[in-house]
Amino acid sequence: MGESASCKIDLTSPETSSQERSSIERVSAIDASLLIVLGFGGFSIVVALVHNAIHRYVFRDQHSLDTVFDAGGKVTTSLTAVTVASQVLWPVDLIQTSVIALKSGIGSILYFVIGLSLVMVVFPIITIHFKTKAPGAKTYPQIVYARYGKSAHLVYCCIALLTNAVTLTAMILTGTYTLEGIVPEMSSELTVLLLVFLFGSYCFIGGLGAAFYISYFNTCIMFVALVIFTSMFIFPNSNANLHNSTDIRTMYEFVKCVKGPSNNAKESLLTFRSFSGAVYGIVVFFMVLALNCCDQAMWQSRIATKPQQGVTGFFIACFLYLGIPTSLSLPSFLSYVSMSYQNGSYLLSTLDTNNGFLTPMVMEDTLGRPGEYLLIMIVFMALMATGSGEIMAISSILVYDIYKVYVCPFRETCVPSSCPLCGNLKYAKEGVTCCSCIPASDCQNCQDDVNLSRSNPPLFKLKYQCPVHGEYRHYEDMLKDYKGWCIIWISLSLVPYGILMTSLKLNVNWVTFVMETLLTPFISPLILTFTWSKCTSKGVISGVISGSLASVAALLVVAETRYDEGLSDFFTNTSADYSLFGSCISGLLTSTLITICVSMVTHSIKSSADIDEEWAKLFFIDNPLNPWRNLYEDELKNIQQSRNLCISDMEFVFRKSKRIAFVVGIMITVLLVVVLPATMLQYEELNADQLYNYTLVFFIILVLGTIYSVFVPPIEEIIKIKRYRNREQKETKEERIALNSYNVQH
């Protein structure tokens, strides 16, 4: 091992970037701006208008406030899959994965992908609990409010908004630095304006449903672009010169001579026996799990689909995701190290590398100007999917959790499980009057009001006639108008915020890993909220606070004691593998233990009736104008319409989905955690053929994912629309026959 390692060269990074700009004609700022505004922005607006037309004239639910934030609640399996894959796939994943590989070797790419894919395997199980216990909730802070009241609710509203801020910061910095690497003359201010335009434009027009449609097109374009890029390495140009050769076997000869981390097998960059890479994989799992739990944008995709479609969609998204980061980061990493070896030192400084300039430089070198356009398309497609989701998430929190609860509640004394029309509880409780309001779907006056709202613009000045539901319908129209202003003001506020973040020249790698890792203490209290009946408000709050303190303390202590420079090199050492691992584990364990211990002392659960009452607080979160029971009418058709539902009914109806989530989840986990690593760990250091075959396997996965993403979602969406139309025509025909029969009899 020593003899093999001694022949490797330890490349150094320049203090400042030594990247030489190639002689090709570069993308101008005007060209990039037009591509982003007219290409991405204009296209997304058209798609949003198409979405509005479908929901206005086919499904006829565009007038509903809930439709804005749950896309109707019936999103198809394939559309869920491509949306989850695009939302989980941050531009940072595309850009920064190759940076991690440069630090830890190609094994870190695999461990990164496994860590993130495992989140998509675990989350369907969490989602099943969410959908069966609180099928009417539109945001996860609503659940916190329903169980614990305003104190814990305010804490998690702040956590949710903080998570959105972290995500948007990473998005803005990634977009800015990527364009800076491709278009040097593009100012950061202009880039921020373009990004905000992309994020907010079609959200304002089409809501969450438009974001699903855009995510489909984003994913398709991203897949096609990645297939084009990766094929350059699978089927290389034999006429290329040695410097910019895309032949994997040629690059292998250079990369194998570069020295990797000392704890890698043979100090090689071409090994999966990388302790540092495995640590990154563990950190990524908890980091992304925290992001998925705390980011309302992630919950929106789960809320917008039924449990069965959601579970299946998540597992398909896991497959789709597998081929994406590897297909871009592995060739980029190999090309960069190959060129750096021939140069005698790394071409980029450490700061430029951490900020994501590696991939733009490689794509420019290998594909020329088309490569720059290709990267703009890939990165900005991912930015659109994620950024728009964040704006919708902030809007939903402001509408459902801030405005409806603290600013302008419809009824001051109401709790989420109360009927806002009469103020009474929706479930039976000893000594308390239960709600007896007539459902809006059975109210004849409401039918006229619904037709009025469908045939007019969504203005809150419409005069509704229903004496029971009319005032609340007016209130929802006001909320829809408020939602529009929320999106506008959020988008506008992102401009100065984005300019401030870019002017600070923050390290993208640090923002991504450190800030997300500090979210891990919030995982356990939230999951326990809708899985453990004895969890209390005091337990959740104390767990969040103590876990956060432990996470920050561990990050600073490990960074100071584990690395030579300590905290004097703050951004580098606090974002290093052991620092992140220590912070992650300390915060998670502390918050879990404190939440459980404090809850055990402070809970008041003494019987099964108390447990039922505790879950009833979540189960009866509902909209009187659009009850969630209507959404599940097919699944609940065997249950009497007049009978009140309970959690056991939902658990029985979705028992198959829960079983699939557990069984398939365990199978995929074994495949990802045991089979795949074990297969690759048998090779101490890859040879040229093994490296080529490894790249080829993920290229095949990418091609299969491309075929699925391009063709299946539109087919399934067309089938859904056709079925709805046929069903509507059948019901209309039956009503007409019944009316004719009545006329004949009378």
Residue 444 lies in a domain: yes
Residue of higher predicted confidence among 502 and 382:
502
- pLDDT band at residue 206 using 50, 70 and 90 as cut-offs: low
Instruction: Give the mean pLDDT of the chain.
Output: 81
Residue 4, pLDDT score = 45
Residue 6 lies in a domain: no
Domain range for residue 532?
518-603
Nearest to 323 by CA among 731, 733, 595, 702: 702
The CATH number of whichever domain residue 243 belongs to comes to: 1.20.1730
Res. 148: pLDDT tops 90: yes
Highest mean pLDDT among 497-501, 581-585, 717-721: 581-585
Q: How far apart are CA 151 and CA 420, in angstroms?
A: 21
- Alpha helix ranges (H) inside 183-247: 188-234
Residue 21, pLDDT score = 45
Please indicate, yes or no, whether residues 506 and 594 belong to a single structural domain of this protein.
no
Q: How far apart are CA 509 and CA 92, in angstroms?
A: 8
Residue 270, pLDDT score = 92
- Cβ partners under 8 Å of residue 400, min gap 6: 69, 138, 139, 141, 142
HSE (side-chain half, CA atoms, 13 Å) at 743:
6
Residue 721 lies in a domain: yes
What letter would DSSP give residue 105? -
Res. 393: pLDDT tops 70: yes
Beta partners for 264?
A: 274
Judged by average pLDDT, the poorest of 190-204, 334-348, 520-534 is 190-204
Please indicate, yes or no, whether residues 513 and 524 belong to a single structural domain of this protein.
no
Could you read off the pLDDT of 672-729 as tens digits, one per residue? 999 999 999 999 999 999 999 999 999 999 999 999 988 998 898 888 888 877 776 7
Residue of higher predicted confidence among 265 and 354:
265
What letter would DSSP give residue 135? T
Please indicate, yes or no, whether residues 422 and 529 belong to a single structural domain of this protein.
no
Please indicate, yes or no, whether residues 554 and 629 belong to a single structural domain of this protein.
no
Res. 5: pLDDT tops 60: no
Mean pLDDT of 238-251: 68
Please indicate, yes or no, whether residues 385 and 248 belong to a single structural domain of this protein.
yes
Tokens 């208008």, residue located: 49
Residue 20, pLDDT score = 47
Please indicate, yes or no, whether residues 429 and 551 belong to a single structural domain of this protein.
no
Judged by average pLDDT, the poorest of 151-165, 227-241, 303-317, 666-680 is 227-241
Q: How far apart are CA 625 and CA 630, in angstroms?
A: 10
Residue of higher predicted confidence among 352 and 739:
352
Residue 5 lies in a domain: no
Picking from 549, 582, 603, the residue at the C-terminal end of a domain is 603
Burial 28-45 (b: 16+ CB within 10 A, else e): eeeebbebbeeebbeebb
Judged by average pLDDT, the poorest of 26-40, 127-141, 375-389 is 26-40
Residue 22, pLDDT score = 47
Reduced to 3 states, what is the DSSP secondary structure of residue 273? coil
Residue 699, pLDDT score = 93
- pLDDT band at residue 209 using 50, 70 and 90 as cut-offs: low
Q: How far apart are CA 380 and CA 727, in angstroms?
A: 39
Neighbours of 354 (CB within 10 A): 23
Beta partners for 259?
A: 268
Res. 669: pLDDT tops 70: yes
Beta partners for 418?
A: 425
Residue 24, pLDDT score = 45
Residue 201 lies in a domain: yes
Res. 123: pLDDT tops 70: yes
Mean pLDDT of 109-135: 87
Could you read off the pLDDT of 531-568 as tens digits, one per residue? 899 999 999 999 999 999 999 999 999 999 988 888 88
Please indicate, yes or no, whether residues 446 and 544 belong to a single structural domain of this protein.
no
Q: How far apart are CA 571 and CA 182, in angstroms?
A: 25
- pLDDT band at residue 23 using 50, 70 and 90 as cut-offs: very low
What is the number of domains present in the chain? Answer: 2
Please indicate, yes or no, whether residues 400 and 534 belong to a single structural domain of this protein.
no
CA angle 23, 27, 30 (to 5 degrees): 140
Judged by average pLDDT, the poorest of 76-85, 209-218, 307-316, 585-594 is 209-218
Please indicate, yes or no, whether residues 479 and 597 belong to a single structural domain of this protein.
no
Helix axes 150-182, 140-148, angle to 10 degrees: 160
Judged by average pLDDT, the poorest of 299-313, 484-498, 568-582, 701-715 is 299-313
Q: Whole-model pTM? A: 0.84
Residue 244, pLDDT score = 59
- Cβ partners under 8 Å of residue 427, min gap 6: 417, 434, 613, 616, 619, 620, 644
Please indicate, yes or no, whether residues 586 and 734 belong to a single structural domain of this protein.
no
Chain-centre distance for alpha carbon 389: 8
Please indicate, yes or no, whether residues 478 and 625 belong to a single structural domain of this protein.
yes
Could you read off the pLDDT of 318-352 as tens digits, one per residue? 888 888 888 888 998 999 999 888 888 888 888 78
Residue 593, pLDDT score = 96
Residue 597, pLDDT score = 96
Residue 12 lies in a domain: no
Picking from 553, 577, 603, the residue at the C-terminal end of a domain is 603
Residue 272 lies in a domain: yes
Reduced to 3 states, what is the DSSP secondary structure of residue 427? coil
Q: Tokens representing 488?
A: 């506008």
Highest mean pLDDT among 108-122, 180-194, 646-660: 108-122
Please indicate, yes or no, whether residues 136 and 57 belong to a single structural domain of this protein.
yes
Res. 237: pLDDT tops 50: yes
Residue 106 lies in a domain: yes
Q: How far apart are CA 648 and CA 612, in angstroms?
A: 10
Residue 18, pLDDT score = 46
Cα distances (Å, whole numbers) of residue 593 to 217, 488, 535: 44, 42, 12
Res. 33: pLDDT tops 60: no
Does residue 555 contact residue 582 with C-beta atoms inside 8 Å? yes
Res. 63: pLDDT tops 60: no
Res. 599: pLDDT tops 90: yes
